Amino acid sequence: MTQDIPMHDVVMVGAGPAALSAAVYTTREDVDTLLFERGVVGGLAAVTDKVDNYPGFPDGIEGLTLADNLRKQAERFGAVIELGEVSGMKREGDFIRLETTSGDILARAVLIATGSDYKKVGVSGEQEFYARGVHYCATCDGAFYRGKRLVVIGGGNSAVQESLFLTRYATHIDLLVRSTIKASEILQKDLEQAVKAGKITVHLHTTTDEIVGQDNKVVKVVGTDTKTRSKVDFPTDGVFVFVGLKPNSEFLKNSEVELDSIGFIKTDKHLQTSMPGVFAAGDIRSGSTMQIATAVGEGATAALVIREYLDGKLTPVAETTEEVVVPTV
């Protein structure tokens, strides 16, 4: 019976910048708020070395510090964060039932802010040597490679930024880029300096074909120079992969929440999903700009909209959702 199931005004799935920002707003207005996080509180922001483009920090701020400050602020107003996983949800009358690792929970409204996770290259050896030579977080695991040689895979902002960070530890880094560098201009300038200093060698038009191990550790990466079509070996002690992000929306595959072709959540202009009472904000939302500042803004917007929904003042959910970009607030 429903009276035996814990009930909350709002359950937020995820505890990254979007959800933590939303929780600050809901709890300040005495809205009972529970956050479920299956990984790290603060999301990908917490495992980012330095955030340079978040307003108010002219010298930048460590991602872990920013995430921890957001957590402390939300908890100060009464937000409860529980480590666990939501595996599914469905509408039941005026409530949404969430299936979690702690048992079923009922909520009057739900905010999905599960963000994104790191994409995999999908080559032989990647899964076999995960956490034993293959990594996706430089700030988490870079220190293990002090005085070692590394391979970094990727050519975007994350790959370049994390390569620069890893130069603190590694003697040399081979950066394997499938096509060309797509990082921002300022990061490319920093990369050029690291290349001139002999800390990083950039290999353009180079695929990653295999991660090879021996005696339970990574020893080299095998790639292909797509211009010469020749195989190339890169001896290494470890591999860091930064090839993009994928949405954390697997638990919604069999739900009423509509996803786009990639798996991001579609919302209307009120951040409502196709399931009444369920909202989405941050990197998980289709049309998101994938920026921490935007996620925080969307979280605040979602909290205000959810309050209107709980008070019965919000326009009913649209029949069809659309991709929108909500400005930061």
What pLDDT, in 10s, does the model give residues 223-234?
999 999 999 999
What's this model's pTM, rounded to 2 decimal places?
0.75
Query: From the candidates 9, 49, 141, 268, which is the catalytic residue?
Result: 141
140 is catalytic: yes
- Strand-strand pairing, 217-225 and 230-235: antiparallel
For residue 326, the model assigns a pLDDT of 45
304-324: burial string, b at 16+ Cβ within 10 Å, e else: bbbbebbeeebeebeeebeee
Confidence label for 1 from pLDDT (cuts 50, 70 and 90): very low
Q: Nearest Cα to 222, choosing from 209, 235, 213?
A: 209
4 is catalytic: no
The pLDDT tens digits for 260-299 are 998 999 999 999 999 999 999 999 999 888 889 999 999 9
- Cβ atoms of 178 and 202 within 8 Å: the answer is no
Residue 70 CA to residue 20 CA, distance in Å, equals: 6
Instruction: Average the pLDDT over 243-248 and give the result.
Output: 90
9 is catalytic: no
Residue 149 CA to residue 235 CA, distance in Å, equals: 8
Q: Nearest Cα to 10, choosing from 216, 310, 260, 211?
A: 310
Looking up tokens 């599914």 gives: 88
The pLDDT tens digits for 57-115 are 999 999 899 999 999 999 999 999 999 999 999 999 999 999 999 999 999 999 999 99
In the chain, the amino acid numbered 49 is D
Domains and CATH numbers, the chain: 2-118+245-310 (3.50.50.60), 134-241 (3.50.50.60)
Q: Nearest Cα to 275, choosing from 124, 113, 110?
A: 110
Looking up tokens 């209307």 gives: 268
CA 302 to chain centre: 18
Query: From the candidates 140, 190, 225, 260, which is the catalytic residue?
Result: 140
Question: 201 Cβ partners below 8 Å, 6+ apart?
Answer: 172, 173, 174, 175, 195
Looking up tokens 């602020």 gives: 73
Mean pLDDT over all residues of the chain?
92
SS3 content of the chain, % helix, strand, coil (to 5): 25, 30, 40
Residue 176 CA to residue 206 CA, distance in Å, equals: 6
Question: 191 Cβ partners below 8 Å, 6+ apart?
Answer: 160, 163, 164, 181, 183, 200, 202
Residues written for the chain? 329
Residue 105 CA to residue 103 CA, distance in Å, equals: 7
DSSP H helices, the chain, are 17-28, 43-46, 63-76, 138-141, 157-166, 185-196, 292-310
Strand partners, 91: 96
Query: From the candidates 49, 137, 174, 237, which is the catalytic residue?
Result: 137
